[in-house]
Chains A and B, each alone.
Chain A
Amino acid sequence: MSNMLEIKNLQARIAGNTILNGLTLTVKAGEVHAIMGPNGSGKSTLAQVIAGHADYEVLGGTVTYQGENLLALEPEDRAREGIFLGFQYPVEIPGVNNAYLLKAAVNAKRRHQGLAEIDAFEFLKLARERMSLLEMDASFLNRSVNEGFSGGEKKRNEILQMAMLEPKLAILDETDSGLDIDALKAVANGVNALRDPERAIVLVTHYQRLLDYIEPDYVHVLSKGRIVRSGDKSLALELEEKGYEWIQEAANA
């Protein structure tokens, strides 16, 4: 199978601080990758660079998505081409209706694909179906985007957007942090239901706990802006046992 995402020697900085220092990673369709690492190792930066946040400046290296240069695309075009970023801190947007955003997002992608826009009836049907998957109340649709949502509600809302947009490549940035066990299970069930041979998922996480519920094919450890170790899910267990210092020492040696 061809590579969905190919990152080679990526270097990036924000506000003058270089965060990514030659990161290399390859992700194929159908795979679930977990990227772990201590605070400041560059996990979120990687997620933001892939989504196209303008504050992050790419200094070198390449990011190839489905054979194309991803870095040349605007954030909205990346989304329409099938990239989804689940935010670590989803933004509250008072006055913008959740249903309106979901529908606008789905239709932006459909237009890009040359498909007819989804009508109100089909949209509601699809949204209700995806919400039940995440054990979300239908009233979510009529609320402002993330406004007044609890931490768990915000993360569920991110996965709902993912479920509606059906991305080819989903990057979930610390979707598990700050969640109680029930919310974590609901989010993990949602993600598992979206596992698909055509879809790649990259889980960015600080904690091994998420991987008890979403089993990754590969685990990578990030330190100082580079992947210092890759392995299967047993690497996550080893990290849990020995802590990040073990990897960092190994990387420095």
Chain B
Amino acid sequence: MRTSALDQDLFAAAVGSMPADELSAVRNDAASRFASLGFPTARNENWKYTNLSGAAAISNAWLREHAGVPFSSASITRPGQAESTLLRQIDANWIVIRNGSVDMNSLERTRKNYGAVINFSHLSDRTAECDIDVDDPMSAFNAALLLDGLHISVSPDSDSLTPLGILQIDDPSQQASQVRIVLEIGRSSSLRIVECALSANHGAQFTNAVIQASIASNACLSHVRLQLRGDEHVGVSRITATLDRDARFHHDAFDFGGSLTRNDVVAIIAGTNAQVRLHGLYLASGNQHIDNHTRVEHRVGPAVSDEEYRGVLSGRSRAVFNGQAVVFKGADGTDANQSNHNLLLSSQAEIDTKPELEIYADDVKCSHGATVGQLDEASLFYLRSRGLDQGEAKRLLTQAFASEFLSELSVEVCREYLTSTLDERLADLVSDRHL
């Protein structure tokens, strides 16, 4: 494992070279915060299993050459095969974010399609009214080096019929990118988002994306995140959703790619009768590393949270699941359920799973469970006795385990794309040479 730390001198110089604009105050505040924190290390309990030294090495190179320089779209050639397929197969209004910069053509098209229902603006034009989260080190790093971000607000009492697509696509020529999206879902409105992350080419890249969402009373945010990064990609992502009363937040996360991936999902229940549903599926092979940390804060009750993450690991891959549910004092009527199930296809794959419940209220219903297992031998033999070969039988059983959520997907339009991508990826896992 490479051990390198982020170079704080390079960081300070890069922050100093950022443009003087509306975001300057936010950047300087974030920079001083990050300077005292640095990249998280294994000494931080939340980062015990996930080593960011690869991200630090990529970041150092990037800080030396590119930070603060607006990305030139001229250096990205025509959209690649993967990008075209995805845009064609999922019926959404797409905003394309290349190496952290919003593609203005796609933004204009999308803006027109939604008319008055959704308002899109630059984050730099909204600094007066929204707080940029910088609470954790990676969010602070993101804010300190942010050229700009996207602010999306959905008007009250409106439904956006076509899902909003957000495609993050990165190219190793730029090495690192910071993405920040602030979402405001107005009262009694709903927004469905399908967010996809791709790599334009092979090569070492680091992306650090932060989404902050506030969901007003009786509003609903459905969010599918599909991560299909290249095999040298290091990705850190964080989504924080704050829910007012009767609000709903559905999050379905699919992590199929990347070399090292760390996702943080934080749901804050700040209003009664809010509902949170978190689904995650991670598939890892080879030396992939996928870490999902979730935290649901039940600040008031009654409210419901349901969470289930599933993983399939082959080769020497490693996954981490940490699910925190915190029930605050007085949050009576809380119903919080959480589970994490893992299928290990190889003896060298590893999962570290840790459900954490912290309960300070009296009248609550909470459950959690974690399982780790192999494919059922009796089922394998049954399928083979019907003429299916061993590989097909394994693939079928693995698919059955992994497809659990597809029937209740938050954003229907990506089902077909997701199913075919899942099948393809499972075929890789089942035929992993380290089985």
User: Is A101's CB under 8 angstroms from B383's CB?
Assistant: yes
B366-423 residues at the A interface, CB under 8 angstroms: 376, 378-379, 381-390, 392-393, 396-397, 399-401, 403-404
**Size of interface on A: residues with Cβ below 8 Å to B:** 29
How many residues on the B side are at the interface (Cβ–Cβ under 8 A)? 22
| Of B392, B400, B403, the contact of A104 (CB 8 Å cutoff) | B392
Query: Quick check: B387 and A85 within 8 Å, CB to CB?
Result: no
Q: Whole-angstrom distance between the alpha carbons of A29 and B400 in the complex?
A: 38
Are B387 and A105 in contact, CB atoms less than 8 angstroms apart?
yes
Please measure, in the bound complex, the distance between the C-alpha atom of A100 and the C-alpha atom of B388, giving whole angstroms: 11
> Whole-angstrom distance between the alpha carbons of A95 and B395 in the complex?
12
Whether A237 sits at the interface, judged by CB under 8 Å, is: no
B402 to chain A, nearest CB (A): 9
Residues from chain B with a CB closer than 8 A to the CB of A204 are: none
CA distance A75 to B381 in the complex (A): 8
List B contacts of A108 (CB < 8 A).
386-389, 392
Min distance, Cβ A68 to any Cβ of chain B, angstroms: 17
- A contact residues around B404 at 8 Å (CB): 95
Q: How far is the CA of A155 from the CA of B381 in the complex (A)?
A: 17
Q: Which residues of B contact A109 (CB under 8 A)?
A: 387
Cα(A54)–Cα(B380), bound, Å: 11
Tell me which residues across on chain A come within 8 A of B376, comparing CB atoms: 91
The answer to whether A152 has its CB under 8 Å from any CB of chain B is no
Contact check, A91 vs B384: say whether CB atoms are below 8 A apart.
Answer: no
Report the bound CA distance from A85 to B378 in whole Å: 14
A79-B387, A96-B397, A108-B387 are known contacts. Are A54 and B381 too (CB-CB below 8 A)? yes
**Do A93 and B389 have beta carbons less than 8 Å apart?**
no
Tell me whether B388 and A93 are in contact (CB under 8 A).
Answer: no
Known contacts A94-B400, A95-B399; is-contact A76 B388 (Cβ 8 Å): yes
For residue B400, which residues in chain A have a CB less than 8 angstroms away from its CB?
Answer: 93-96, 144
Q: Which of B378, B381, B389, B390 has the most CB of A within 10 A?
A: B381
Decide yes or no whether A229 CB sits under 8 A from chain B: no
Query: Complex formed: what's the CA distance from A78 to B307 in Å?
Result: 43
A149 within 8 A of B: no
CA distance A100 to B393 in the complex (A): 12
Show 16 A/B contacts (Cβ-Cβ < 8 Å), sorted by A: A75-B384, A75-B385, A76-B393, A79-B386, A84-B385, A93-B383, A94-B400, A101-B386, A101-B396, A104-B387, A104-B388, A105-B387, A108-B386, A108-B388, A108-B389, A109-B387
A75-B381, A76-B387, A104-B392 known; 16 new pairs, CB 8 Å cut-off, are: A52-B384, A74-B384, A75-B385, A79-B384, A85-B385, A87-B382, A87-B385, A90-B382, A91-B382, A93-B397, A93-B400, A95-B399, A95-B400, A100-B396, A108-B389, A109-B387
